[in-house]
Amino acid sequence: MMGRQTVGQDKLFYAFNLEDHIPANHLLRGIDRFLDLGDLHCHLTEFYSHTGRPSIDPELMIRMLVIGYCFGIRSERRLCEEVHLNLAYRWFCQLGLEDKVPDHSTFSKNRHGRFRQSETFRHVFETVLRRCMSEGLVGGEGFAVDASIIKADANRANVSTPEEPKDWRNGEAPSRAVREYLAALEDANPTGDESCAPAPSIAAPKVVSLSDPASRYTAAPGGPAFFAYSTNYLIDLDAGIIMDVEATPAHRTQEVQATKAMVQRVQERFDIKPKRLVGDTAYGSAPMLHWLVNEKGIEPHVPVWDKTQRKDDTLSSNDFQWNEQANEYCCPEGHALQINRRAFKNPRTHITQEDTIIYRASQHDCAACPSKVQCCPNTPARKIARSIHESARDVARKIAKTEAFKQSGRQRKKVEMLFAHLKRILKLDRLRLRGLSGAQDEFLLAATAQNLRRMAKRLMPGNGKTGAMPA
C-alpha cells in the first residue's frame, strides 16, 4: 500500500541536538578535535577596543574560514550561506540552530585590519603545527621544499609596459594592492644617495599588472603567460606535514630566498633543523648549496645546477683534474690552467661578478696540443670558470651518488601531492585576494587546512591512515 506523508500543524516544541546529527566519522569531528583556538583571544586582545559593542567572535570567523579552505568553498558569500544551511558546519562553528551567521563583509574588514596587523593567520598555522608535533607527526630529520605557481586575480590586458607606461599616482585612487606594491618599492628603494645603493639582484619586470602589480608575468607552466604568485612549501618527510609556507612572486630567485627564510624561521620558532633538505634542480645553485653546507650544516639532497657540460662533444670541465693544493686545473694532456701566470703588485681576488674565478691555460701549450680540436677549437686557449662555492657543489655531487639520495627523490613526491591536493581538492588554482599580503593569507589558510585534514584522517579513532571520511 502506498504511504502518504501526514502534513499537520507544526509542533510547538522540538527535541533537537546538533551533536546527535553529525556522523562520528565526519571530517569536521576530527578537525574539531585537533583545532585548539583557546589562545586566539589573548593574541588579539590589544587589537580590539576595551569599549563599545561586542564584536563578532574572532574564533567564529577563523572556524568559518577553516571550513571554507577545507572544503574548497572559495566565495565568502557562499561560505556564509553554507554555514547557515549545513548542520555539520553549524556544529563546527559552535552555532545553534537559531544563531545568526556573520555577514560576509565581516571577513574583509577583519582581514585587512586586525588579522593582518596581528599576523593571526600565521598564529593559527603555527598553533596547528605545534599540535602536529605533539601528536608525533613531525620527525624533523628530513625536509623537502618546492614551489607551485598559482594564478593571480589579474587580467592580462590591464598592464603597464615600457612602451605604454601608466602612472598610478594620477587619476582614480589606487587600490589596496597597488598601494601595498608602491609602499614595498619605497621600502626597497629609499630616497638618498643612489650611488651607494646596491645593484638589484632581480631584474625589473617588463610587464606589470595594474590590478595586482606584485604578481609576476610568467609562462613557466607552459602555454600562454599569465600573472601569478608562487606558494613555497617546506614539509617534513615523515607524514608530509607542512612546516612553513611563504608567498612570493613567480620568480625562481625569490623562491630560493623564501626557502632560506622558511628554514631559518622553523629553526628559530620551533628549534628544529633538519639533517637533510630535499629539492629539485632549482635549489641546486652554488650560493644555495653554500648556504646549506657551510652556514647551516644541512645535507643538500639536491641535484647540482650545472651548466658546464658541453653538448658539442668537446671536453667539459669535468674532464679536467682539480688540484686543491696548487690551486689549478690539469687538462688530460697534463698542462696546467692557472689564475694568472705573473705576480701582481696589488693582490687581486680574481672573483667575477658571477662569483666565479677564471682559470686559463697557456696559449703556447694549447697551440701545440694534439687535443685542441676536442678541447677549444674556437678559442686560442682553454679557460674554465670555477665557482667560489665549488666545494659545496662537490658535497652535493657526492650525495647524489648515494642510495639515500634516491630515497629522498622518492620522498619528494609528497610535496608534489600536496600541491595537487591544493589545486584539485581545495580548488586553490586561482587566488581570490590581491597583493602579496593577500596571497600570503590564502596560502597560510590553505596550509593550515591541509595540516588539519592530515591529522584528522591519520589520527581519528576507528579510521587509521586509510580510514574513509566524508570530505
Could you give the angle at which helices 435-459 and 120-134 cross, rounded to 10 degrees? Answer: 20
Q: What's the confidence (pLDDT) of residue 188?
A: 73
Q: CB neighbours of 409 closer than 8 A, spacing ≥ 6?
A: 278, 301
Q: What's the confidence (pLDDT) of residue 195?
A: 46
More confident residue, 463 or 438: 438
- Residue 247 near residue 270 (C-beta atoms within 8 A): no
Average pLDDT over residues 133-159: 93
Give the three-state DSSP class for 53.
Answer: coil
Q: Which residues is 277 bridged to in the sheet?
A: 143, 300
Least confident span in 15-19, 126-130, 298-302: 15-19
Q: What's the confidence (pLDDT) of residue 241?
A: 96
Q: Is the dihedral of CA 412, 228, 290, 122 positive or negative?
A: negative
Q: What's the confidence (pLDDT) of residue 1?
A: 67
Measure CA 470 to chain center.
28
Q: What's the confidence (pLDDT) of residue 391?
A: 92
Q: What's the confidence (pLDDT) of residue 78?
A: 95
The winner for highest mean pLDDT among 175-189, 351-365, 393-407 is: 393-407
More confident residue, 471 or 457: 457
Q: How far apart are CA 214 and CA 228, in angstroms?
A: 9
Q: What's the confidence (pLDDT) of residue 169?
A: 56
Amino acid letter for position 80: C
Place of cell 668537446: 314
Read off the pLDDT band of 471 (50, 70, 90): very low
Phi-psi region of 386 (alpha: psi -120 to 50; beta: other; left: phi over 0): beta
- Tell me: pLDDT of 324 over 50: yes
Q: How far apart are CA 441 and CA 111, in angstroms?
A: 9
- Tell me: pLDDT of 468 over 60: no
Q: CB neighbours of 317 closer than 8 A, spacing ≥ 6?
A: 308, 329, 384, 386
Least confident span in 8-17, 101-110, 138-147, 207-216: 8-17
Q: What's the confidence (pLDDT) of residue 330?
A: 93
Q: Cα–Cα distances in Å, from 3 out to 6, 9, 137?
A: 9, 19, 53
What SS3 string covers 72-106?
Answer: CCCCHHHHHHHHHHCHHHHHHCCCCCCCCCCCCHH
Beta strands, E only, 93-241: 142-151, 159-160, 208-209, 216-218, 226-236
C-alpha torsion angle, residues 237, 468, 29, 127 (rounded to 10) = 10
Q: What's the confidence (pLDDT) of residue 405?
A: 95
Give the three-state DSSP class for 268.
Answer: helix
Average pLDDT, the chain: 88
Express each pLDDT in 56-106 by its tens digit: 999 999 999 999 999 999 999 999 999 999 999 999 999 988 899 999 999
Read off the pLDDT band of 467 (50, 70, 90): very low
Read off the pLDDT band of 297 (50, 70, 90): very high
Average pLDDT over residues 226-230: 95
Average pLDDT over residues 204-231: 89
Read off the pLDDT band of 465 (50, 70, 90): very low
Q: What's the confidence (pLDDT) of residue 350?
A: 82
Amino acid letter for position 76: E
